[in-house]
Structure 1
Amino acid sequence: MLYRIQTLYLLISIFIYSILIYFLCALNKNIMDFFEWNFSFKKTILIFLIICLFLSILSFFLFHQKKLQIFFNKINILINTIHEGFLFFSCSQWNKYTLIMFLFFILCICLLYLTNKAIKKDIELINSINRIR
């Protein structure tokens, strides 16, 4: 349902992914100079971000199929965790842009976890109503 709290969580995560993609694409000259990464690494980051954004949008539009929505959110959390580990172990220089990126990814993981938790509460509520009937 579009008026539930999990919808708000998903919209915030979609917004964060969009901001990250914007910073990686539009402000490439300013931000990526601080990272000092090669082109293939930047491309990998962008591909991970696009996959995560696509999964969040897909999960947003599958609000009628709650089990599938939970599944896509779990995949998104897994991809975010892999992506964050990949960034953590390959980052040689820490600066404010790197820390902001890490914080955004952690925030997205937390939002997706809260989304799954709210969806599970909805499923339990629907099941309890079905038992009462």
Structure 2
Amino acid sequence: MLYRIQTLYLLISIFIYSIFIYFLSSLNKNLMDFLECNFFFKKTILIFLIICLFLSILSFFFSHQKKLQIFFNKINILTNTIHEGILFFSCSKWNKYTLIMFLFFILCICLLYLTNRAIKKDIELIHSINRIR
């Protein structure tokens, strides 16, 4: 549902992923050069971005199935962590663009964690209401 805080968190993460995919794929010559790593790692980073975006969109559309949404978010956090590791170890020189990219992915991990916490609070609220009945 669109009025819950976890939906806002997911929309922000989807927005961040889509912005990075747009800039990394469409403006390939200008923005992919700041990574200063070989071609394999550049494509790997783009593939991990697409996977993370797809998992966030799936989690957004499964808003009525809370357990499945938590599962997709946990897989997305794991994928983001692997992506962060690849980005951290593959780049030889750190500049401001790489640091901004790194910090935005940490922000996405935090948003997905907050999404899971909000979903778990909703589940606990539903269980407490069922106990009252």
Tell whether the structures are fold-level matches, with TM greater than 0.5: yes
**Matched residue, 1:118:** 118
**Matched residue, 1:58:** 58
Shift of 1:2: 2.2
Q: TM-score, normalised by structure 2?
A: 0.97
Shift of 1:37: 2.0
**Matched residue, 1:43:** 43
Whichever residue aligns with residue 116 of structure 2, its letter is N
Shift of 1:41: 1.2
Shifted more, 26-35 versus 116-125: the winner is 26-35
Shift of 1:19: 0.7
Contact 1:2 1:63 in 2 (8 A): no
Q: Alignment identity in percent?
A: 89
Determine the C-alpha separation between the residues in 1 that align with 2:86 and 2:39.
15
**Matched residue, 2:96:** 96
Contact 1:56 1:76 in 2 (8 A): yes
Shift of 1:40: 1.6
**Matched residue, 1:9:** 9
Determine the C-alpha separation between the residues in 2 that align with 1:129 and 1:28.
52
Contact 2:36 2:91 in 1 (8 A): no
Contact 2:37 2:90 in 1 (8 A): no
1:59-106 CA-to-partner distances (Å, cap 9, x unmatched) read 000001000100100000001001101111111100011001101100
- Tell me how many residue pairs correspond in the alignment: 133
Whichever residue aligns with residue 92 of structure 1, its letter is S
Contact 2:77 2:112 in 1 (8 A): yes
Determine the C-alpha separation between the residues in 2 that align with 1:74 and 1:101.
21
Determine the C-alpha separation between the residues in 2 that align with 1:120 and 1:129.
14
Determine the C-alpha separation between the residues in 2 that align with 1:80 and 1:33.
22
1:46-68 CA-to-partner distances (Å, cap 9, x unmatched) read 11000000000000000010001
**Structure 2 gap segments, 5+ residues each:** none
RMSD (CA atoms): 0.8
Matched, 1:69 2:59: no
Q: TM-score, normalised by structure 1?
A: 0.97
Shift of 1:36: 2.1
